[in-house]
Amino acid sequence: MFSTLRRLAPRAALVIAVPFLLCAAGCGKQAGDRRADQDGGPVIGVSLLTRTHPFYQDLEAGLRLAAAERGYQLVVQAGEFDVARQKDQIADFIVRKVAAIVVCPCDSRSIGTSIEAANAAGIPVFTADIAVLAEGAKVVCHVASDNVEGGRIAARALSLALDGHGSVAIIDHPEVESVIQRVRGFEEELAAKGGLNVVAKLSGRGVKDGAMRTTEDILQSHRDLAGIFAINDDSALGALAAVEKAGRRGRVAIVGFDAVPEARAAIREGKIYADVMQQPRSIGFQTIDAIAEYLAGQPVLPRVLIPCALFTQEDARREADAAAR
């Protein structure tokens, strides 16, 4: 399904489906039939975490490409890290009686009451990239990167950069489920490998200036810090700014997550060691696939995980060489 669209993803969109209980066949068809707009296509309400980050821009592009193929109409908004704003957006989708709602939660727990309101209105909810952790909130399907494995990939990369020894810090954002999974995978892999010691785990709120301030505090408290795992590229770039300001570039290895263009450039220049790369367009494609299956009354897997990969300096140089040809 959608093989043409999936070939547009930067890497093969292999899907790892984690088997849980399946949604009963036929559960969504009536809802989809009664929520088409005047032009005949079902309307899907989408509330992203943000529209300013390249990851979510690519995710939105994937949603739009797949929705256009299906004849769906998207109403796309973003909470911009403000869960109250995101709750208002979901409330508006409920009033509009959309066919389905897609959410990338600003806060995985606080958003639960809004999901429950959509449940009570009979509107199916799907999450992309970030899952809901609130008890009682029902989500048909969650589509995301395999963030636990992504965290393990980051740990292996940082261990390689530091020859398996040294003190490391985590620039965290614990309100977000995908980050919780990344950190879990990172810590599990470090524990299994041994040699690296996590001396600090503090939140940078997932933004550059917050990560820079957090990293400055960590660098002052831990003069022997050798490595940093940053949970996204805004965090990685903020950490890099702090490291450079402290005159410790080349002595603190940084591994980020996302591989956005600015981070790729820093990797190419040797300022960031490596990044875990996601496939946001594939997440968008698969989310629309899940909605289509639900509205057609077909069984839907409750979770679909998309593989991550490591982006290194060698990859960055190869990419630059290809662009220069």
Q: Is the pLDDT of residue 236 over 70?
A: yes
Q: Three-state secondary structure along 140-166? A: CEEEEECHHHHHHHHHHHHHHHCCCCE
- Under a CB-based contact definition with an 8 Å cutoff, are residues 183 and 130 in contact? no
If residue 275 lies in a helix (H) or strand (E), which one and from where to where? strand 274-277
Range of the domain at 244: 147-277
- Under a CB-based contact definition with an 8 Å cutoff, are residues 115 and 177 in contact? no
Shared domain for 130 and 22, answered yes or no, is yes
- CATH number of the domain bearing residue 265: 3.40.50.2300
- Cα dihedral sign, 155-157-162-165: positive
How many independent structural domains does the chain possess? 2
Shared domain for 157 and 139, answered yes or no, is no
Shared domain for 253 and 159, answered yes or no, is yes
Shared domain for 140 and 285, answered yes or no, is yes
Q: Which two tokens stand for residue 50?
A: 């943000």
Shared domain for 75 and 159, answered yes or no, is no
Give residue 36's pLDDT band: very low, low, confident or very high (50, 70, 90): low
Share of the chain above pLDDT 90, in %: 84
Tens of pLDDT, residues 61-87: 999 999 999 999 999 999 999 999 999
211 in helix, strand or coil? helix
The whole-number pLDDT of residue 325 equals 81
Share of the chain above pLDDT 70, in %: 88
Shared domain for 64 and 118, answered yes or no, is yes
78-82, 160-164, 216-220, 319-323: range with lowest mean pLDDT: 319-323
Shared domain for 29 and 140, answered yes or no, is yes
Shared domain for 136 and 10, answered yes or no, is yes
